[in-house]
Amino acid sequence: MQNRHSLLWLAIAFFSTSLYAQTTYLPLWSKEGWLLERLEIKAQSNNDLNLSTVKPYMRKAYVEVADSLRIKLLQKQNPLNLSEVDKYNLNRLQANSSEYSSISDARILKSWKNEESMAGFYKTRANAIEVNNPKFYMVVNPAISIQQTNESNYDEQVYFRAFGASVRGLINKKIGFNFQATANSEAGPLPFRRFYDSNLAVPGAVKFSTNSDSTRFSYADIRGSINWNVTKYINMQLGRDQHFIGNGYRSLYLSNFAGPYNFFKINTRIWKLNYTNIYTQFTSSPYPDFNKATPQKYSSMHHLSVNVTKWLTVGGFEAVIFGRENGYDFSYMLPVIFLRSIEQQNGSPDNANIGFDVKANIMKRLQVYGVIMLDEFKKDELVGESRNWWGNKQAFQVGAKYVDAFGVKNLDLQAEFNQIRPFMYQFRDTTGAYTHALQPLAHPIGANLREILGVVRWQPMDRLYIHGRLNLWKQGLDSAGYNFGANPNEDYRKINTGGQRPRDANFPMFAGQPANGFNGVITASYEVAENMFLEVNYNLRSYKETDLEKVNTSMFSLGFRWNMFRKDYDY
């Protein structure tokens, strides 16, 4: 039997009265993510740090790692050769997740207490309001992000504004909760406007309202979850939010580009294994009309990470996207299954994908990683003239991270290459497409592309962050009304069966209308108080479609954010 509330019923079925101490999760935008990547590479063989492919990070697991390092520092040991900035960041990780830390030694913890704070505000370093007793823990913080941008050759305002609050806490150390709500308004730059024109969707939003000329948008961003442990090793989470699965800057599995969605997650971490099941409810298309119901679709995703050696981690991923009139298909709810076999057993009505990933930490300075994602795989179609068959749908990624580059402390470099074949992530309708509210679930630019990425991160002093990114890409776009496999929302069927695909063969990379893009950005952020940033950003873009004039734009932005992410336009 199927039911529209299957995710909730599944959660209740697994919920046990014999609960164990649990963990909440760091936000995906958390500044601690960069620190944890550095620690993983510098430690090389830490089992907990290496099992980090599925994000967001578990607070408890990573605070325990940080505490173990801080204890060694107290004992005048520094096995990871941590810099003074690293030590400062370790203390801040504790300050932002103090409910899980076992250390409060003043020699390494700068508590930043203000004994004369009014009405209980900011008695601790990181939180506006904090309630801390043995049975109940809760923190409340503002959530604000303001970016004002000047875009060349464009006379209208460009801005992003979000105002709201966030809450997180523990009940009797058994049940964790978090909640964040913001009211957002946005008038985006050229890549934002192009995305809306192509997809009639707003990146990061599910429902939205807009003005008469579709240049300014308003939407609510509401996310949160409850989570609990049913054993020492199994954590469950029910809520509405985003996830990221991968080791690179881009994800070919599941990225945080699309807006938040309803989900139920089971995470099992034991020995050298981390196994994650995510059951989701997506939306086939967004509606500006807030009173209109949106058509729903669903997914079941699994990822298994295994530390096969102290420095090498391999992973496997599988996903199926599907729609049912009566709700979630219970056959996809088994926590340990081969989704492809279930999908075929159901008559292959759904969109199934599998992937494999690997990463290796080398010499405590370097990490290399790779991913391959498969939608269709027919070995007879991979060589010779058949290799450009339309159903030859694969994607792969290779990349490397280099910490303390060239001996400069806290200077980290990353290089990445992504290739996605035409028609990857597409289906015969939006119900099976690898999208949520018409936004890609994986790479934000879509498919039929190659991309080279370079990222520079530098923290020269405690509160100052320098971030640079350069990406170059080439993509084959739809042309003359035909589908050449770039947009995941398009129907991959051939013309004579109701789609827009013109033929079966001869789909090399960049088939259709070739386009070349360049995007370079540098951002300087200064943390004036805990999680409160002032930012300056410069962005230079170039975009050229064959037979059309090249479009060059530049953007200069000033920003302020407090317990919030910075809005990026990296697509």
Q: Report pTM.
A: 0.93
Predicted confidence (pLDDT) at residue 350 exceeds the cutoff of 90: no
Residue boundaries of the structural domains of the chain: 6-562
Helix (H) or strand (E) holding 64: helix 59-74
* Residue 399 contacts residue 370 (beta carbons within 8 Å): yes
CA–CA distance, 228 with 237 (Å, rounded to integer)? 7
3-state secondary structure of 331: helix
Predicted confidence (pLDDT) at residue 486 exceeds the cutoff of 70: yes
Of 138-152, 265-279, 366-380, 465-479, which range is least confident?
A: 366-380
Predicted confidence (pLDDT) at residue 542 exceeds the cutoff of 90: yes
Torsion of CA 11, 13, 14, 18, to 10 degrees: 120
Predicted confidence (pLDDT) at residue 3 exceeds the cutoff of 80: no
Q: Both tokens of residue 231?
A: 């054993």
pLDDT, mean of residues 500-519? 94
pLDDT, mean of residues 187-205? 95
pLDDT in tens, 183-194: 999 999 999 999
Q: What are phi and psi of 309, to 5 degrees?
A: -135, 180
pLDDT in tens, 134-180: 899 999 999 999 999 999 999 999 999 999 999 999 999 899 999 99
Hey, what CATH class is 6-562 in?
mainly beta
- Full DSSP string of 412-463: EEEEEEEEE-TTTT-BSSTTTSSEETTEESS-TT-SSEEEEEEEEEEEEETT
* Residue 559 contacts residue 532 (beta carbons within 8 Å): no
Task: Kindly state the DSSP code that residue 155 receives in the 8-state scheme.
Answer: -
Instruction: Please state at what angle helix 32-43 crosses helix 84-96, rounded to 10 degrees.
Output: 120
pLDDT in tens, 372-400: 999 876 666 666 566 789 999 999 999 99
pLDDT of residue 124: 78
